[in-house]
Amino acid sequence: MNATKAREALLAGVRGLALALVSMTGSVLLFTLTVVSIGLIPVGIGVFAAPLFIERVRAHADFRRTLALSWSGVRIPSAYRPVPRRPGPAGWAARCTTLLRDPATWHDLRWMLADMTAGFGIALLPPVLLAYVAYGWVIALGVWRPIANAGGDWFLFIHVTSQQSGYAAAALGTALFVLGLFVNPALLRGHFQLARALLSPSREAELAQRVDRLTETRHDAVDTSAAELRRIERDLHDGAQARLVAMGMNLGTIEALVEKDPAQAKRLLATARQSSAEALTELRDLVRGIHPPVLAERGLADAVRALALRLPVATEVSVDLPDRARAEAPVESAAYFAVSELLTNAVKHAAADSVWVDLSYEAGALRVSVGDNGRGGAEAGAGGGLSGVERRLGTFDGVLAVSSPVGGPTLVTLEIPCALS
């Protein structure tokens, strides 16, 4: 076993301990409070309490979805129905009714019941396999004596009553540690696969959600295309077109002055030459904004490297893409402009002095991660640049995940399903 595999196994043990604690605290507490609040609906109190706790359950489940994807690469889909937010008692009653009629609510409760039992046991196995080696050797190095004086104790199936049984406990603990090095990542993944089996929506709900998402992203794509066309028209009208018109007027004046006032004609020629150069620059910038030449000629990896070189902060780009394999042009363009927006945010809003970008392709999806060591606090779906990125990716059925605690660091991960050719 190499060092990387051993490090992953040890990390899986730490993560398993954290998951076990979350399962026994968060899931038990939220399950109990939610069930009690639902039981109090007939007396009126539950109408106000149940929506609050069910929404906390959803946040808890979404947090575990994030951990499943980032720790084990297990994607757990969700299909929560929109919840009305009207004020007043009628609004609370509508929220409570909508939440209780949503099948995802009962999926969450079913998952928490399993999470605090089987999920807890699976999550606890990785740290236990690693911890038993210390306990076994502590027994072998002398603790067996007070244990034997007290009548002995069991180390799993070994009855510790002597030095020999203490050494046997140490050997068993070492064997469990070695076993943990091989199976801990799989156990952690098994914990999340159990959650996926219980949290995933039914086939009908998933198809309905996909139709709704495709409808929404279609409208977003149409609106985005219309806005982009208006921007191009405005830039052409206010920029290059105005300069070309001015240049034409200058040429007409030059034609009239070339014999009467050659010196003035020469000055106007210089002005016309400068206007033509500026118009050409603006046209190049406009074309670059539509589809950068470096992206078309050299692909996404080199285009992102070119973006990084223009940033005023240290930026590291890591690429793990198949050689000479490229996604379709619209997918590359969407990924390029998404990375451009994220890098701009890191410099302008996060006050970061170090940025990193990772490009990879796995499981039929282009995966891009952009991180920085800035002040954090970024949120997807809160308007602004990240919402624009999310809409752009939605056109391709892509997803955006943001991890940005206050104080940083920030990590934004986007995935776009695609094929490389």
Taking alpha carbons only, the member of 368, 416, 369 closest to residue 395 is 416
Instruction: Give me the pLDDT at residue 336, please.
Output: 83
3-class secondary structure, 317: strand
45-72 and 103-114 are packed helices; what angle lies between their axes, rounded to 10 degrees?
Answer: 60
Instruction: Give me the pLDDT at residue 31, please.
Output: 94
Instruction: Give me the pLDDT at residue 220, please.
Output: 58
Burial class from Cβ neighbours inside 10 Å (0-12, 13-18, 19+) for residue 185 reads buried
Residue ranges of the chain assigned to CATH 3.30.565.10 = 295-417
Residues 298, 331: Cα–Cα separation, whole Å = 15
Instruction: Give me the pLDDT at residue 214, please.
Output: 62
**pTM for the structure as a whole:** 0.53
Residues 417, 397: Cα–Cα separation, whole Å = 7
Q: Are 369 and 413 in contact (CB under 8 A)?
A: yes
Instruction: Give me the pLDDT at residue 123, please.
Output: 93
Instruction: Give me the pLDDT at residue 340, please.
Output: 83
Q: Are 68 and 78 in contact (CB under 8 A)?
A: no
Residue ranges of the chain assigned to CATH 1.20.5 = 216-290
Per residue of the chain (421 residues), give pLDDT as tens: 677 788 888 889 999 999 999 988 899 999 999 999 999 988 888 888 999 999 999 999 999 998 998 888 888 887 787 776 655 566 788 888 888 888 889 999 999 999 999 999 999 999 988 888 887 787 777 776 777 666 767 777 777 777 887 788 888 888 888 888 888 999 999 999 999 989 887 666 556 666 666 665 565 555 555 555 666 566 565 666 666 666 677 677 776 766 777 777 777 777 777 777 666 666 665 555 555 667 777 888 888 888 888 888 888 898 888 877 788 888 888 888 888 888 888 888 777 888 889 988 887 888 888 888 888 777 655 455 677 777 777 777 788 888 777 777 888 888 888 888 7
Count of Cβ atoms closer than 10 Å to residue 39 Cβ:
12
Q: Are 120 and 207 in contact (CB under 8 A)?
A: no
Residues 321, 309: Cα–Cα separation, whole Å = 20
Q: Class of the 295-417 domain?
A: alpha beta
CATH code for the structural domain at 216-290: 1.20.5
Instruction: Give me the pLDDT at residue 283, please.
Output: 61
Instruction: Give me the pLDDT at residue 60, please.
Output: 92
